[in-house]
Chain A
Amino acid sequence: MNKRTLVISLVAALIGMASLAGAGWAGIVNAPADRSAYSAPALYNLGNFYARLGRPAMAVLNYERARILAPTDLDIQENLSYVRASVRLPALHSQHDRLADPNTLYWIGVLGLAITGVTLLLRRARSEHRLVLTAGAIIGGLLMALSLGDAIATSDTRHEYVVMAATPARASPTSVVEPLFTVPLADVVSVQDEHLLFALIRDTQGREGWVARRDLAPVIPSADSSTSATT
């Protein structure tokens, strides 16, 4: 394999990765294999539906799910803040206010990895255009850093739950001890640990306590969760 062949192969690989990323953005890669798929507008509309029904916990749950897919959507943030305020919950924190949705940023990271890899290989194979190739590697690295940062910021979302009914939080996973405090309806809490029918949660004020798991619904449902929405 001479250098020209190598360069052509690497450029082809770069174009392929870019195409793959583009396909991911266009939804082709993420096209649902069945009807159990999620879309941000559908979840948002479902949140509106429950909000109009007067069921704030279900509304917040669907808004939070919609916000994962569309963190920059101002409608979702507005209605989520409105419903939270209606049940006297504190204002939103800007945890999800990111540049784009996580899946797009994931593909941006993959693209950055491809750019970095190709430019570094070219830089080693060719002695010309070293400045341009170095710049390309830096840009690729920045894209990877952007994606990695979003991955770290998104990690907490996996442990977030919405309180479906106001529930007492206790010092131990049993219902016989006196409650420490009551977790309000529709609040979003982070589950730190689980034991049998109880979950150790941390609320938005930093308080920790054990609550009954039946009073919580995961923001990111498991694959077999019955609370998943169809579109």
Chain B
Amino acid sequence: MNTFRMTTFAAVVAAGTFIASAMQVADAAAAQRIEPTQIEMGDSARLTITASGNDASTISPPMIAGLEFVAVAQSQRIETINGVSSASTTVTYQVTPQEAGVFTIPGAGPGSAPVVLTVNPSSGRGAVSPGGAAPNARLSNLPAGSTRVTANGTAFVRLRLSKHELYVGETIPVDIQVGMRDGFVASLNGLPTLNGDAFTLNKLSSQPQRAEEIIDGQPYTVLTWHSALAAVKPGELALTIETPLTVRIRTAARPDAGLLGEGDIDDLFNDPMIQNFFGASREKEITVASAPTAFTVLALPTRDRPADFSGAVGNFSISSDVSDEKVAAGDPVTLRLRISGTGNFDRVTTPMLHDVEHWKTYSPTAKFTVEDDIGHRGEKTFEQPLIATQPGTQSLPALTFSWFDPTTRRYVVARTSPLNVAITAGTPASQGSSRVSLAPAPSRNTSASLAGDRDNQGLRPDHVDLGSTTASLMPHYYQPVYIAAPSLLLAAFSGGWFWMRRREQITLAEAEQANEFPQTDSLLESMEEARAAGDTTRFFQAARLALRGALASQWQVDPALITLAEIEARLGAGSVTARVFKLADEAAYAGATLTPADFQWWKKLVLREISNEAMS
């Protein structure tokens, strides 16, 4: 009984304290408004909160996952009416959305009405429907996986998928859901990621869907991304998904639940605004992981595997056509192969045609048209330019494509029908100047052909003569094999140069050793002295004497008979010896002068001539 009275008294005191606090809060918060109420991604809105009193710290920004609040203005207003003064404080926040959806911003305090902000995707994507889901966006129709909420109940990550047995390379649709307890999650710090290297995940859908869900009586905002999952190796494997979050946690002890019970009071104290008001919470970054999901991944069978199997797994159908069924020879046509269905389109490849008789083939290009938001369903189109080289009805062979069907657990080989293209000779008049023919045509590489010679698309016409070919577009300068050619040539010339120089030195040495011209040494010394003195006349006289002696010895005649006329007759007027004789006369009679470099050059020539005459 005594205990009952004490409990009742404590409850009354606590209730009185709470009511007083609630009244204080009610006094502090007055109103809030948001303008505009509907914006697009990339834009921002302005939230204005007005509270009575002159203490701006009583106003705090809301915490809404997906919205960022930045205070941009603050003002105070004091009014005196009939001698009674009242003050109010206004804080304006810039609200920037991080994702599209409909956001409900709770009241700034008890008695303040919530406001709704609608965020549409960027222009051209349509408006967001109430409830947060984009128009035409499918809700998750996959079976729900197990939900493992964090220990403090603030968030969870969940995986929803259609099956748990798949083949290596097979892609299956998967929904990744992140649940966040309203008011407890300050921000989502990144996209969900796989934990492990046995699976790959396609690019997540650009905008997550938003929905509300009640779990264990608590409201959660659930964001859902659609994607496609694929396994890269066989075995019994498990997968978890992780997401980084910032949550707000309590730092002050809440009132004893035993006294007040688990109910509205508890919820009220858990309200983040109330916690923030009392300064009883702080933010913390955590990583939330999903419960492990088990998979059985099967290896693709090797039996009956087609030779051209490229790793495509799914359910596909193929078709082919050509851009024109009748063209002129030399005109390009496009061969198209369309592969549509569901599966791992990143492994859907085909070499198309090559080495087809009467056709020139070019490398194909591929274009993937996605029909869902995860890249699992769509159509991949391969386009290959072809040019017929001969007129007549030319056939394009059938195209094949093979894949593994996980439903029937068999390989499938699909084959298109051969296509016939009528190739006409020459240029049909109806096809305009853009068409080319096999008939010889003058080169169009001259400026004269530029005048007004364009097709109906403004392009200059094709070239008929395909000219010479090269194996690489890389210029020869940068190909090692071509760099070697001039290098070898340069080395050969350098080697020849040094060989000739060495040969001259050896010849001179041999001539000196033979000592066939005893007077040569003194004459050479005389030349050197004249060179040092810059005496041109003396230099050439010594050179003439040396050459005369060498020639007399070679020709077995008296040196006095060695004249310029005799030399010109025997050696030619342009020979070095004849020129030395002429220069000796010029220096003696006309006073010719030489530079130091000329002295050296002529000395070398005279020495070489002497040695040549000694050797011959």
Contact = CB atoms under 8 A, between A and B. Distances in A.
B475 A45 contact: no
B363 A226 contact: yes
A27 B462 contact: no
A196 B506 CA distance: 62
B450 A78 contact: yes
Nearest to B605: A127
Nearest to A35: B355
B447 interface: yes
B468 A27 contact: yes
A19 interface: no
B575 interface: yes
Interface stretch (B400-408, B488-496, B512-520): B488-496
Contact of B468 (A39, A45, A230): A39
A25 to B, nearest CB: 9
Interface in A116-160: 116-118, 120-121, 124-125, 127-128, 147, 150-151, 154-155, 157-158
Contacts of B470: 27, 30, 32, 37-39, 69, 103
B468 A26 contact: yes
Nearest to B490: A113
Interface string A69-103: 11011110011001000000000000000000011
Nearest to A152: B477
B355 A117 contact: no
Contact of B485 (A46, A48, A110, A158): A110
Interface string A50-68: 0111000010000001001
B362 A41 contact: no
B471 interface: yes
Given A46-B362, A154-B475, A230-B360, A31 B469 contact: yes
A72 B477 contact: no
B338 interface: no
Nearest to B501: A124
B473 A52 contact: no
Q: Which interface residue of A40, A51, A118 has the most chain B CB atoms within 10 A?
A: A40
B477 A48 contact: no
Contacts of B113: none
B471 A36 contact: yes
Interface string B407-450: 00000000000000000000000000010100000001111011
Contacts of A48: 434, 459-462
Contacts of B362: 46, 229-230
B489 A106 contact: no
Contact of A74 (B355, B450, B496): B450
Given A124-B500, A151-B475, A45 B363 contact: no
A70 B466 CA distance: 12
Contacts of A154: 475, 477
A72 B332 CA distance: 25
Contact of B462 (A30, A32, A35, A45): A45
Interface string B460-483: 111111111111111111100010
Give the contact-size bracket for chain B: 35 or more
Nearest to B446: A74
Interface string B371-385: 000000000000101
Given A68-B475, A75-B463, A82-B458, A27 B469 contact: yes
Nearest to B609: A127
A17 to B, nearest CB: 7
A231 interface: yes
Contacts of A45: 332, 387, 436, 462-463
A154 B473 CA distance: 12
A102 B477 contact: yes
B77 to A, nearest CB: 38
A177 interface: no
Contacts of A32: 469-471
Contact of A38 (B434, B436, B473): B473
B462 A70 contact: no
Interface residues of A, number: 73
A72 B500 contact: no
B486 interface: yes
B360 A158 contact: no
A228 interface: yes
A41 B465 contact: yes
B574 interface: yes
A38 B469 contact: yes
A212 interface: no
A228 B473 CA distance: 10
Given A49-B385, A113-B489, A230 B450 contact: no
Given A32-B469, A82-B459, A106 B482 contact: yes
Q: Which interface residue of B362, B383, B466, B473 has the most chain A CB atoms within 10 A?
A: B473
B8 interface: no
Interface string A194-231: 00000000000000000000000001110100111111
B469 A30 contact: yes
A125 B500 contact: yes
Given A44-B462, A52-B457, A220 B445 contact: no
B459 A51 contact: yes
A120 B497 CA distance: 8
B497 A121 contact: yes
Contacts of A70: 445
Contact of A30 (B361, B468, B485, B489): B468
B251 interface: no
A114 to B, nearest CB: 6
A37 B471 contact: yes
A44 B500 contact: no
A34 B348 CA distance: 27
B475 A58 contact: no
Contacts of B462: 41, 44-45, 48
A45 B436 CA distance: 10
A171 interface: no
Contacts of A46: 332, 362, 385
A103 B574 contact: no
Contacts of B459: 48, 51-52, 79, 82
A229 B385 CA distance: 10
Contact of A110 (B461, B463, B467, B489): B489
B493 A120 contact: yes
Contacts of A36: 471
A223 B463 contact: no
Contact of A17 (B463, B466, B473, B489): B489
A3 B206 CA distance: 82
B103 to A, nearest CB: 23
B504 to A, nearest CB: 9
B365 interface: yes
A27 B471 CA distance: 11
Contacts of B478: 151, 155, 158
Contacts of A79: 459-460
B334 interface: yes
A114 B486 CA distance: 9
Contact of B365 (A10, A38, A58, A125): A58
Interface of B: 332, 334, 354-355, 360-363, 365, 383, 385, 387, 434, 436, 444-447, 449-450, 457-478, 482, 485-486, 489-490, 492-493, 496-497, 500-501, 572, 574-576, 605
Given A45-B387, A102-B477, A230-B361, 5 more contacts: A37-B469, A102-B476, A150-B477, A157-B475, A231-B360
15 contacts: A30-B469, A34-B471, A41-B464, A44-B463, A45-B463, A48-B460, A48-B462, A52-B457, A69-B473, A103-B470, A113-B489, A124-B500, A147-B477, A151-B477, A220-B473
| A-B CB proximity, top 5 nearest | A27-B468, A117-B493, A41-B463, A102-B475, A37-B469
